[in-house]
Structure 1
Amino acid sequence: MNDHADARAHDRAGFTRMEDSTREDWQIIVPEAMKMAKALPDRILDHLRLLDGDFGGFPVDRLTHSRQTATLALKDGRDEEYVVCALLHDIGDTLGSFNHPDIAAAILKPFVSEENLWMVQHHGVFQGYNFFHHIGLDRHMRDQFKDHPHSHRTAEFVALYDNRAFDPSLEAEPLETFEPMLRRLMATPRNSIYKAAMQPAAQTR
C-alpha cells in the first residue's frame, strides 16, 4: 500500500501539497470540517470561560463584563443576534491585545448582519471616547466615522450596554442563558465562501 492509500485507510487525505489533492481527499476532509464547524459554539463557550477571574485591573472580570453587556441588551429587548454580539464583543481580549474587536468580528462575520458586524469591529474606538484621554489618546478618534451609516448604532451599543457593564453590583445572566442563542445563531452561516460546499455535506451525513 502506498503512502497515499495508507493515509486514506486511516481517514486522512493523502496529499502533501494541496495542489495535488483529489475529490476523494476532500470527501474525507469536508465531513471532518463539518464536525468542527458544528462544535464551534462549544469552543466559543470554553474560551469565554477562560475569561472568568481575569480582571486585568477592571472592577469586574472579563467574563462578568461580557455577561453584563449581554444581559443589558437582552433586558432591553434586543434580538438574539444582537445579544450574542454583546456577549462576544470582548472575547478577543486575551488573544488580540492590540486589536480585540477584530477577533470578535472575525468570529461573528459568517453569522451576523453587516451593521452588527461593523458595530462589534468598531466598538473599541467608540468606547475610547470614555477613556482615551486618560491614556494619551484622542478621545474623539471615533469622529472619523461620524458619517458612517452604522456610527449611531455603535455609539448606542457603547452607551447603553458596553459602558455600563463594569459594575460589580449589576446582575448578569449566566452563560447558560445565552448558550441556546449562540447555538441558533451559529447553526447556519449566512456569509461564507465555504457555505455552498459545506451544506451538501451536512445534508448527506
Structure 2
Amino acid sequence: MSHQDASAPRAKFRAMDEGTAEDWSVIATQFGAFAKDLPDRVLAHLRLLDGDFGGFPIDRMQHSLQTATRAMRDGRDEEYVVMALLHDVGDTLGSYNHPDIAAAILKPFISEENHWIVAHHGIFQGYYFFHHIGGDRDMREQYRDHPHFAACEEFCAKYDQTAFDPDYDSEPLSVFEPMVRRVLARPRRSVYADAGEAAE
C-alpha cells in the first residue's frame, strides 16, 4: 500500500472557500492515484480478519473466503462474489454495525440489489441465531415487501450462514484479489467519480 509523496504539489488555500480551479486541479490529479490504491487498502483491511475467531468455528477471514467460494462455485457473477467476500470487512471497525461499513465501501461499485444485500445481511443472518441470544429471529420480516428481500434471504441461506465449516475447501484470497481489483476500479455511483468525469 503506497503513501502519497509529501513533496508533491499541494493546494494553497487555508479554507475551501478560498480554493481556485488550479488548487482543485492539483487535488484531482492526486485523487486519481489515491483512488487506484483502494483495492490494496480494502484487501489489507480484510486481512485483519485472519486469526480473528470471536468464538466461531473458523476465523472471520476463512468465513469471508468460504462465503465467496460458495458463491463463485454456484456460478454467481464477479460483482456478487466480491460482495460475498467483503460482506464482513467492517467487523473490525463496526462491532455493532459491520454491515453498514461494508455497504458504504461497496456502494459506488455494485448494483442496488447487491448493495441492499450487504447492507441488510446482518438482520437477515439474525434469523439463524437471534432467538438463541434473546432477540427476534423474525426481525427481517419488516422488509418482507421489499423487492430485494428474497435476494438477501437467499444470500444468507446459501452462502453466509453455511460458511462456518472447518472442513470446507475454500479458495485462497489470491483467487479473489483480481476480482476485487476489477470491481473496485469501476465506480458507478459516486458524486466524486461523476465530478471527475465531468472535469475530463
TM over 0.5: yes
Deviation track 1:111-132 (CA, whole Å, cap 9, x = no partner) reads 1100000000000000000000
Out of 157, 162, 169, which is 2:155 matched to?
A: 157
Written as runs of structure 1 = structure 2, the 5 A alignment for 1:25-174 is: 25-174=23-172
CA distance in 1, matches of 2:198, 2:62: 39
CA distance in 2, matches of 1:97, 1:49: 17
In structure 2, relative to structure 1, the CA distance for the partners of 1:10 and 1:123 (3 Å cut) is: closer
**What is the aligned residue count?**
194
**Per the alignment, in what secondary structure is the counterpart of residue 92 of structure 1?**
helix
CA distance in 1, matches of 2:152, 2:198: 36
> Which moves more between the two structures, 25-34 or 123-132?
25-34
CA distance in 1, matches of 2:90, 2:113: 19
In structure 1, list runs of 5 or more residues that go unmatched. 1-8
Q: What is residue 19 of structure 2 aligned with on the other side?
A: 21
Deviation track 1:41-69 (CA, whole Å, cap 9, x = no partner) reads 00011111111001111111010000000
Amino acid at match of 1:37: A
1:10, distance to aligned residue in structure 2 (A): 5.5
CA distance in 1, matches of 2:8, 2:144: 56
Q: CA RMSD in A?
A: 1.3
1:200, distance to aligned residue in structure 2 (A): 6.3
Runs of 4+ aligned residues of structure 1 deviating over 4 Å after TM superposition are: none
Structure showing greater radius of gyration is 1
Q: What is residue 5 of structure 1 aligned with on the other side?
A: none
Amino acid at match of 1:52: D
Amino acid at match of 2:116: W
CA distance in 2, matches of 1:22, 1:109: 30
In structure 2, list runs of 5 or more residues that go unmatched. 1-6
Amino acid at match of 1:141: M
Out of 175, 188, 191, which is 1:190 matched to?
A: 188
Deviation track 1:130-189 (CA, whole Å, cap 9, x = no partner) reads 000111111110000111110000000000000111111111111110111111111121
Q: What is residue 6 of structure 1 aligned with on the other side?
A: none
In structure 2, relative to structure 1, the CA distance for the partners of 1:16 and 1:134 (3 Å cut) is: same
**Per the alignment, in what secondary structure is the counterpart of residue 194 of structure 1?**
helix
| TM-score normalised per structure 1 | 0.91
| TM-score normalised per structure 2 | 0.94
Q: What is residue 3 of structure 1 aligned with on the other side?
A: none
Deviation track 1:23-55 (CA, whole Å, cap 9, x = no partner) reads 111111111111111000000111111110011
CA distance in 2, matches of 1:142, 1:190: 28
